[in-house]
């Protein structure tokens, strides 16, 4: 047992040594250890204190969280049948443990005693926040329920965890299974060379002639964007829009029943806890106060964006009719027509811009921004990884280690789609000193193309550059924290609707000339991005922002209605709710066969249930926060303001979840947030 790498907490995870057969014994050993600690802490006895109660509990649960975090991470990035089986075998045990812990009345009473103790007022802010959060979370975890209801609550948690995992697996399996093979190159007119090369390589890997297109984003999206062949666009659009649904390829991957059951279970959980619905439960720990407040915020945003969206669509329809001969614009035409309209109006294409963003230059440019703003150094580092393409780095300040991170940039089979940051280890003070934070930064970009046996650098679209900056913002929030209490250091304990503030804030730098000059080099010539092309990008920055805003509002309102006023056991379906929301806010509706919700992992397997609105909510905060950097750069200065960076670092990034996000925002900006900057950044001002 001592050789199990999942039980080695001395330093970084030993990814090169971890095998699926290590999972079950590690989980069993850690659960046994945790149960023993809980049993000891439950006993009545000495006066409860931080040192004799909270610390030993955190020490035990942190190990379990870290080990299971490694397993979950590998399950997301290197999914294999053996690993999936080990994950699914142990997930119910993990869920059962956390549910039982959250319902433990003896522990709940001790946290309440800490809160009521005379010494509470003298505790550091971080510790007070942890105690307050614990009392709140015990109530939300069903600690005050009668025994029979506790049992039902536990059953609900376990079932939800299993269903969410299955939802995600169905999407991944349906994505991995699909392949569209084209032998005749004439059918692929319009597609860029690097996309064709990647498709050719994919077909070769399968031992097939011609070209293979998949439902991984770097493969299918360029087809929608560039393929002149309309029926090809329709084929891949339909495959992507119906994956993991009743219209998909295999009935066992259909998420319809999972969606309905998850929604029923969430509602039952809420009612057990004395709330009307799951949206109310979700908002207890968020900045927003009620589902009605969230809906009003979203509806107001939709109202403001609508005139811009209607104009966007009218222009697109007219352009498609007059220049592309498409009289009946369909969903598989919009991305293609938009790209052609953008090229005509602003005289550049996404593909042209992409040639200036080779991976090494982009990553170096990102690091330069961070080093300038936050006075840190980022250096190459060494660690074992889960895949040969993963890189590892360290962040230092004044020669001292601050944090480390893994960077896993490329899409591949067996890797969940999308982009995310996750914590491998949090910052905390231990008997041996400060434990520094470690982060996973995961994206799904195109891997470097191999042409005539030569590997060329991976090229990123500008959108992918923005995604990289976004995820790194989360990483900074996690790694630059100065809080030394685990439960509120970094992103831990931050309200979910504020957690996107640093990530969306970082995106803004991707539109700054003094940033892009230093992070671009043409793939063939090495020349930096020309100023004239940058000016066109800026002119096009808010191209169709009205339609894009409405799309985000649509997803957010759909999510909120599903968890607020929808009865999953009634006659209506989730599809009916989505259709109603679209009638209310959208200007362009997808075809009837579109099953977007069947792969809406954010809310069915990703923690954003009744919280998808957070993206727009936090964008108000991030745009307003970035306004301080714009003000610093006004009059010919740079937005890479060290003074503003220092203040953002100390008032937002370093304090983590130790105080309410609104307090952190006000400490940085000196006032309440305003929506004006968001509307201005999106070009939606009169």
**Local structure of residue 423 (DSSP, 8 states):** E
Residue for token pair 């005289």: 347
Are 401 and 379 in contact by the 8 Å Cβ rule? The answer is no
- As a whole number of angstroms, the distance between CA 513 and CA 608 comes to 34
* Chain centroid, CA 232 distance in Å: 30
Question: Which secondary structure element, helix H or strand E, spans residue 433, and what is its range?
Answer: strand 433-435
Question: In degrees rounded to 5, what are phi and psi of residue 231?
Answer: -70, -30
- The token pair that represents 144 in the structure block: 């005050």
- Which tokens hold the place of 96? 């059962």
Q: Which residues pair with 212 in a beta bridge?
A: 181
Pairing of strands 400-410, 438-445: parallel
Q: Which of 62, 169, 359, 471 is an active site residue? A: 471
Q: Are 227 and 341 in contact (CB under 8 A)?
A: no
Decide the pairing of beta strands 400-410 and 420-425: unpaired
Q: Return the biggest CA–CA distance within the chain.
A: 82
Q: DSSP for 1-37, please give it.
A: -TT-GGG--SSS--TTT--GGGHHHHHHHHHHHHHHH
CA-based nearest residue to 509, from 634, 366, 300: 366
Q: What is each CA distance from 449 to 359, 410, 546, 559, in whole angstroms? A: 12, 11, 35, 38
Label residues 403-439 b or e (16+ Cβ within 10 Å = b). Answer: bbbbbbbbbeeebbeebbbbbbbbbbeeeeeebbbbb
Pair 564, 610: CB distance under 8 Å: yes
Rounded CA separation 148/607 (Å): 27
Structure tokens of 222? 């360029």
The owner of tokens 């939709």 is: 302
For CA atoms 136, 145, 153, 6, give the dihedral sign: positive
Instruction: Please indicate whether residue 371 is annotated as part of the active site.
Output: no
Catalytic residues: 471
């Amino acid at each position: 047992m001592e050789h199990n790498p999942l039980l080695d907490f001395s330093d970084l995870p030993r990814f090169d040594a971890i095998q699926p057969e290590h999972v079950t014994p590690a989980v069993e050993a850690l659960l046994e250890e945790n149960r023993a600690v809980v049993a000891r802490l439950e006993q009545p006895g000495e006066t409860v204190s931080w040192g004799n109660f909270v610390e030993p509990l955190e020490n035990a649960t942190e190990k379990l969280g870290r080990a299971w975090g490694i397993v979950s991470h590998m399950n997301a990035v290197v999914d294999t049948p053996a690993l999936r089986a080990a994950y699914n075998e142990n997930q119910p045990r993990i869920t059962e443990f956390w549910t039982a812990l959250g319902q433990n009345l003896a522990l709940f009473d001790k946290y309440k005693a800490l809160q009521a103790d005379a010494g509470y007022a003298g505790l550091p802010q971080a510790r007070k926040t942890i105690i307050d959060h614990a009392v709140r979370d015990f109530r939300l975890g069903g600690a005050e329920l009668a025994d029979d209801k506790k049992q039902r609550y536990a059953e609900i948690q376990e079932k939800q965890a299993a269903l969410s995992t299955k939802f995600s697996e169905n999407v991944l399996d349906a994505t991995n299974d699909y392949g569209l093979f084209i032998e005749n190159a004439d059918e692929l007119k319009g597609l860029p060379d690097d996309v064709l090369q990647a498709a050719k390589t994919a077909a070769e890997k399968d031992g097939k002639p011609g070209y293979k297109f998949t439902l991984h984003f770097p493969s299918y999206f360029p087809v929608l964007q560039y393929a002149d062949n309309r029926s090809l666009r329709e084929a891949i659009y339909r495959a992507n829009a119906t994956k993991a649904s009743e219209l998909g390829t295999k009935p066992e991957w259909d998420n319809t029943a999972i969606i309905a059951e998850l929604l029923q279970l969430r509602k039952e959980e809420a009612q057990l806890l004395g709330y009307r619905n799951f949206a109310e439960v979700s908002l207890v720990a968020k900045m927003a106060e009620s589902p009605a407040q969230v809906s009003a915020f979203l509806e107001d945003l939709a109202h403001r964006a609508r005139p811009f969206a209607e104009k966007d669509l009218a222009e697109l329809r007219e352009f498609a009719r007059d220049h592309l001969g498409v009289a009946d614009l369909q969903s598989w035409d919009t991305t293609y027509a938009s790209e052609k309209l953008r090229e005509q109006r602003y005289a550049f294409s996404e593909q042209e811009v992409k040639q200036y963003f080779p991976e090494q230059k982009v990553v170096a440019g990102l690091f330069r921004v961070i080093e300038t703003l936050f006075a840190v150094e980022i250096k190459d580092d060494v660690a074992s990884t889960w895949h040969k393409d993963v890189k590892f780095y360290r962040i230092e300040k004044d020669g001292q280690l601050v944090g480390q991170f893994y960077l896993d940039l490329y899409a591949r089979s067996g890797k969940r789609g999308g982009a995310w940051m996750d914590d491998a280890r949090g910052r905390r003070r231990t008997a041996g000193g400060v434990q520094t934070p470690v982060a996973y930064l995961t994206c799904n970009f195109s891997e470097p193309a191999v042409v005539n046996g030569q590997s060329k650098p991976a090229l990123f679209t500008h959108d992918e550059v923005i995604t990289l900056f976004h995820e790194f913002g989360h990483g900074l929030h996690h790694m630059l924290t100065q809080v030394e209490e685990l439960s509120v250091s970094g992103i831990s304990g931050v309200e979910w609707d504020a957690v996107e503030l640093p990530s969306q804030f970082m995106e803004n730098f991707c539109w700054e000339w003094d940033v892009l000059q230093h992070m671009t080099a043409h793939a063939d010539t090495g020349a930096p991005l020309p100023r004239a092309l940058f000016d066109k990008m800026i002119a096009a920055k808010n191209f169709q922002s009205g339609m894009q805003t409405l799309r985000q509002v649509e997803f957010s309102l759909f999510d909120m209605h599903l968890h607020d006023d929808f009865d999953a056991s009634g006659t209506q379906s989730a599809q009916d709710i989505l259709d109603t929301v679209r009638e209310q806010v959208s200007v362009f509706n997808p075809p009837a066969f579109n099953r977007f919700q069947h792969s809406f992992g954010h809310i069915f397997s990703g923690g954003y249930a009744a919280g998808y609105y957070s993206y727009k909510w936090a964008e108000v905060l991030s745009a307003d926060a970035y306004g301080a950097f714009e003000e610093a750069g006004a009059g010919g200065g740079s937005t890479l303001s060290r003074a503003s960076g220092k203040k953002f670092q100390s008032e937002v990034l370093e304090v983590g979840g130790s105080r309410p996000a609104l307090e952190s925002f006000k400490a940085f900006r000196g006032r309440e947030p305003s929506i004006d900057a968001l509307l201005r950044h999106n070009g939606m001002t009169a």
